[in-house]
Each structure stands twice: as C-alpha cells, then as structure tokens.
Amino acid sequence: MCGIAGLMLRNSGAIGKKLVGMLDGLQHRGPDSTGFALYRQPAADRMVMRILLKCSAETHEGKSRASKVLQILRGFGVEVLSDSYTQEHYRLEIAPVPAVKDLSYAVENQAGVEILSFGSALEIIKDVGSSLDISKRYGIEAFTGTHCIGHVRLATESIVDASRAHPFWAYGFSDVAIVHNGQITNYWKMKRRLQKTGYQFRTDNDSELIAVYLADKLDRGFSLEEVLARSVDELDGTFSFLVSTADGFGFAKDHLAAKPMVVLEKDDMVAIASEEVALNRLFPGESLDTYEPFPGAYKTWQLSTLAMSA
C-alpha cells in the first residue's frame, strides 16, 4: 500500500534531488517510511555496502556491531577503503569482491546487522519518515547519478521500521533493487520455495519476496526482461513494481491492473510513478505525454541506449 517512483537519465544528473521531489509528491500514499535506491556509474575499483546496524552507531552496541562487520570482512580478505555512519546507517567502501551472496550472509548472520544494499553502483537509503525528512538526515539531494527508484510506504500488515521500508535490495545480487506497491497473495508458497533453495529472508514483507524472486531468476541467467515476463504470471495478487540494476530498469504490472502506474518517456529520460502528480514535480506547469501501462505489462530500459528493449 504505497507509492513508487523511478527515474533514468541518459546523462548523469541530480537524481537525488529529483527523486526526493517525486516522492514528496506521492507522500500522501504512504506516510510511514520513505526510501531511495540511487545509482552512480558503476565503479571498477570499489563497491559500497550500506548496513543497518539496528541501533545507533554512537552507542556501545552499535560500535561493537560495526567493528564486528569490519572483522568479518577482513576474515574474507576484503580490503575496506573507508567507512562512515549516520545514526543506524553504516556505509563502507570496499575493494570489489566476487562472492557477494556468501559475504553478505556471513556479515548479517554473524554481526546481527542488516545489509540494505551492496554493489558497485547502488546505494539504498531508507528509514521511517517523509521524503524531505530523510533527505535532510542523509543528504539525499546531493546525490548525482544515472538512475534511481524510490518508495513511500503505508504499512498495512508488517511493522513500521527501516528494515521493512522499501526499496529492497535483491539480496545477494549486487546492484539489483525493487520497489513495490500492492500485495502478493501467493507469498507463503513462493517464500517456502525460495527458502528451500537456500535464500534467507529478513522480513515478513511481501516486497522482499519480489526482490529475492527476481534475484534468483537473474542468478539463473535470465535477462531482466525475461524475469519480468515470468513475474507477471508467477506472482499472484495485485502489484505494480519497479526493478533496477546497475545499467537498466523496468516495471511489471499485475493482470488485474489494480495498482496505478504512469510512465513518461522522453528522448533523454524515462520517469515512472504511481501517479502523474509525481512526474509533474520534474516538470512543473507542463502537460506531459504519459501513458498508463496495460494489465500484465512489463518493460525494461537500458542505460547505454535508453531505448526500449521490450
């Protein structure tokens, strides 16, 4: 029960500021929490891991969790380039590693923390509060990059906290994130299936399931577009979701068309949001040439071409 928004620019730009505005325009759809998945040009020489310590880094417990994280990383032979924190959020820059999933599970399970995102292009920042609020707290507006997705949440079943805020990182799969509006009704069935194949879940939120489901499919070698095509048939319920990777992004919409979504495509950008009001935040005063995708529709865009691939 929420609002979602996404934006891809042909040339790197002020995506942080733009997404903050779009989500502010959607805040009525979800007052509980707000989150941002922001993408830079992928770096060849470093990856960023963002961690939720689940208590402030200023406290004794927070400090010990952060040092535990460093210890585990060293154990894996990972070179830590820098680290910093804001309240519960711990950010590390490390030299690139291949085994993203194994490393992530080790960090989470041993340090009692939660990884919000991990990748060479992606950073996820999410917390309880409004778009403007979180932007101020974490300096989102200053972020420049190529594409982003974001979310405002109105919790209906699970608890309101930073872990259950969106976007969800496609756990163990670097640089993949999703935001979702709706409700997955075959949640338990799909979750059990994925758990059997070794995936761990951190929340009871059905959107996390979509992230893991997509990651699993990508891991099996399907293209983003193939994954989305399958998702509209395999996921049951009402949904509109956005997924983003290091160099692409796309949407999928259920067969019932019960959740709103509006798309704006221009030569040098694509913007998607639950409501047109968010798109107008990018172009105040303009009449936009938007469309609402049909039920069961999905579509992807690649950064390199910013041309439609579906």
Catalytic residues: 2
**Residue 145 binds other proteins, judged by CB under 8 A:** no
**Residue 280 binds other proteins, judged by CB under 8 A:** yes
Q: Which residues, 6+ apart, have CB-to-CB distance to 184 below 8 Å?
A: 190, 206, 207, 209, 210, 235, 236, 237, 239
**Residue 55 binds other proteins, judged by CB under 8 A:** no
Q: Which residue in the set 11, 44, 98, 156 belongs to the binding site for other proteins (CB under 8 A)?
A: 156
- Other beta carbons within 10 angstroms of residue 84's beta carbon come to 10
What are 53's two structure tokens? Answer: 């310590």
Q: Which residue in the set 33, 181, 207, 300 belongs to the binding site for other proteins (CB under 8 A)?
A: 181
Nearer to other proteins, 112 or 293 (CB): 293
**Residue 7 binds other proteins, judged by CB under 8 A:** no
Q: How many residues bind other proteins (CB under 8 A)?
A: 41
Residue holding tokens 């099996």?
220
Nearer to other proteins, 29 or 191 (CB): 29
Q: Which residue in the set 16, 30, 145, 250 belongs to the binding site for other proteins (CB under 8 A)?
A: 30
Widest pairwise Cα distance in the chain? 56
**Residue 281 binds other proteins, judged by CB under 8 A:** yes
Nearer to other proteins, 165 or 303 (CB): 165
**Residue 154 binds other proteins, judged by CB under 8 A:** yes
Which spans of this chain sit near other proteins (rule: CB under 8 A)?
1-3, 28-32, 154-157, 160, 181-183, 238, 256-260, 262, 274-277, 279-281, 284-292, 294-295
